[in-house]
Amino acid sequence: MHLGAFFFGVGHHLAAWRHPDVDPSAGGRIEALREWTRIAEDAKFDAIFFADNVGLPEAPNHVVAKNALWYPLDPLLSLAALSQSTTHIGLVATVSATYLPPYHLARKYASLDQISGGRSGWNLVTSGSDFEARSFGLDQQLGHAHRYARAHEYVQIVKGLWDTWEDEAFVHDKAANRFFDPARLHRVAHEGEHFKVHGGLQTPRAPQGYPVLVQAGSSGDGQDLAAATAEVVFTAQQTVQEARAFYSGLKGRLAAHGRTPDQLKIMPGISPFIGRSQQEAQEKFEQLQGLIDPVLGVGLLSTFLGNVDLSGYSVDDPFPEGLPVTEGWRSRQALFESMARRDKLSIRQLYEKVAGARGHWTLVGTPETIADKLEEWFTTGAADGFNVLAPTLPHGLKDFADLVIPELQRRGLFRTEYTGRTLREHLGLARPANQHRRPDAGTAA
């Protein structure tokens, strides 16, 4: 199975920064990020994974003050630095297709792939919050369907820019006074509904051809984009039955795009609380749950529900019905509402249920029981692997690396050594050919 280590502030739990063993400032220090990355690489994770957003939430300052700033450093700059203290682990960062021009993204990721020796991955998102929109001069976010239509075109442009140069373009022939073969240069000439781009990248073609394309949307629009473009999908699923349905449904869409199931890896998120006994694991879980501030719990729900105002309800009221469909994170809104209906949860019970993993699967148990559950999902068509959302960093990540991974290795479910150097090799993904390469093309003379 494939495993990613998700870095989110100082832990994925809403109250992680308040844990007595956690350094609240660590997420903003490159030394701490290096330590966490070494833990993941020593454990042979496929990749580390940075989330991101591009704005400061607009809640009142006294409310924001209760929350950690989850993304204090630019993820691409952080990964460039981390690439120099690592040798094998993949380096995946979230960058929004909504606000960064395609040229900038293409050049930054091509450069990161060169710097890291072929270990980069781009998690494509379409920013889904109004506070991010206002950071870029808009009154509100773009509509859900509009964002995804732009993203389809955006990926087409970015791939074209990554194919500016064929692999053998740079001949460096001093005697002939020819730095590159002009027949192997291909400029982009794109005029579409959303973008107009004429030009090309200065950067040579990336070691991986393209950085690995990751996508995290699970709505209908998100799945359409993933089926057409993604090579890894990061998804939130709560039960093995739901995960199997998502897995088979999404992979079933690939044929329409000329793709095969092995060209897409589906990796649900998991938030593991691990103890050498079930009681120890439960105590770790309850300790963090006891640190949740109700104001932040309600705020978390409101954000994912599309800034729905829940202030008129008591936290012990039943979760309200008939909420408007958000233009933001539609798949997460649907997931939260489904959880509330299925389990008849109050507002408090729902935010307590999702505060640890924001809708992802929370596991509380011993290394053996957690490995049992991961094995079931992996071997029954629910997942190709998992993105591990450590509740606290580095402690939750170290617990997984020291306790769960050896159990997975003992069962033959996870590597004991890296067998390749690039992220594509770790994931078993083919290197894409340059779209302009002639079938009979050989090495440039």
User: What's the pLDDT score for residue 85?
Assistant: 97
Percent residues over pLDDT 90 in the chain? 67
Please report how the helices 144-162 and 220-229 are oriented relative to each other, as an axis angle in degrees rounded to 10. Answer: 10
User: Hey, which residues does 178 pair with through a beta bridge?
Assistant: 173
Q: What is the pLDDT of residue 212?
A: 98
How high is the pLDDT of residue 67? 65
- How would you class 238 by CB atoms within 10 Å of its CB: exposed for 0-12, middle for 13-18, buried for 19 or more? buried
pLDDT at 329 (0 to 100): 56
Instruction: Dump pLDDT digits (tens) for 323-382.
Output: 656 555 566 667 777 777 777 778 777 777 776 667 789 999 999 999 999 999 999 999
Which pLDDT score is estimated for 222? Answer: 83
User: pLDDT value at position 135?
Assistant: 84
Domain chopping of the chain, boundaries: 2-278+360-427, 293-354
Q: Given this model, what pLDDT does residue 444 score?
A: 39
Give dist(CA 142, CA 127) in Å, integer: 9
Closest Cα partner for 303 from 126, 137, 59, 55?
Answer: 59
Read off the tokens for 413.
Answer: 């479910």
What's the token pair of residue 183? Answer: 């027949």
Sequence-distant contacts of 376-380: CB under 8 A, at least 24 apart: 376/240, 377/240, 377/243, 377/268, 378/1, 378/413, 380/240, 380/244
426 class by beta-carbon count within 10 Å (0-12 exposed, 13-18 middle, 19+ buried): buried
pTM: 0.88
Supply the DSSP symbol for 16: G
Position 332 scores a pLDDT of 62
Beta-carbon contacts of 151 under 8 Å, excluding residues fewer than 6 positions away, are: 97, 98, 124, 126, 225
State the DSSP H helix or E strand holding residue 132, giving kind and residue range, or none if neither. Answer: helix 130-135
Tokens read off for 207? 């070691």
Q: For position 445, what pLDDT does the model report?
A: 33
DSSP H or E segment with residue 83: helix 75-83
Residues forming a β-bridge with 270: 361, 388
Q: Which residues of the chain have pLDDT under 70?
A: 58-70, 128, 302-308, 311, 322-333, 355-357, 439-445
CA distance readout (Å), 257 to 106, 147, 225, 244, 372: 23, 20, 11, 21, 35
Neighbour count for residue 296 (Cβ, 10 Å): 19
C-alpha–C-alpha distance, residues 394 and 32, integer Å? 9
Helix (H), strand (E) at residue 88: none
CATH architecture of 2-278+360-427: Alpha-Beta Barrel (3.20)
Query: Do residues 375 and 411 make contact, with C-beta atoms less than 8 angstroms apart?
Result: yes
Amino acid at 437: R
Radius of gyration of the chain (CA): 22
